[in-house]
Amino acid sequence: MKKIILACTASLGLLFALNAAAQEKNNMNREYMEAMNKMHQPMMDAAMIKDADVSFVKGMIAHHQGAIDMAKIELKYGKDPALKALARNIIKAQQPEIKFMQQWLKKNIQINN
């Protein structure tokens, strides 16, 4: 009887572990899709702007923010230390670039209007 209880307990533990792993994968996939969807429309909108500089900057802001969002997902779910380091570097590099582009946009939109 003890062996049956132990086997059932072990099986339940395994099922819970597998369920948790599957749920984490589902959450990761959902978060990646949300990040990609959030990025794509602003990039497509930017592609329709006739001013090449403004089009580039607006598209790149969305692109960089998407990279940051995906890097945060890697930090949350990833296991590989080298990829986690890359994700941290992406965030560190692209946040100032976004700030620069936002400032450029603010300055140059005012000049062009």
- In three-state secondary structure terms, 24 is helix
Question: Which residue, 63, 62, 94, 90, is CA-closest to 75?
Answer: 90
Query: What is the per-residue pLDDT across 59-113, written as a single tens digit (0 to 9) for each?
Result: 999 999 999 999 999 999 999 999 999 999 999 999 999 999 999 999 998 655 4
Asked if 108 and 52 count as a contact pair (C-beta separation under 8 A), the reply is: no
Query: What is the per-residue pLDDT across 24-50, written as a single tens digit (0 to 9) for each?
Result: 668 999 999 999 999 999 999 999 999
- Report yes or no on whether pTM surpasses 0.85: no
Question: Which residue, 61, 50, 46, 67, is CA-closest to 97?
Answer: 61
CATH of the domain at 25: 1.20.1260
Range of the domain at 97: 2-112
Q: Which residues of 61-83 are buried (b: 16+ CB within 10 A; e: fewer)?
A: bbbbbbbbbbbbbbeeeeeeeee
Total count of domains within the chain? 1
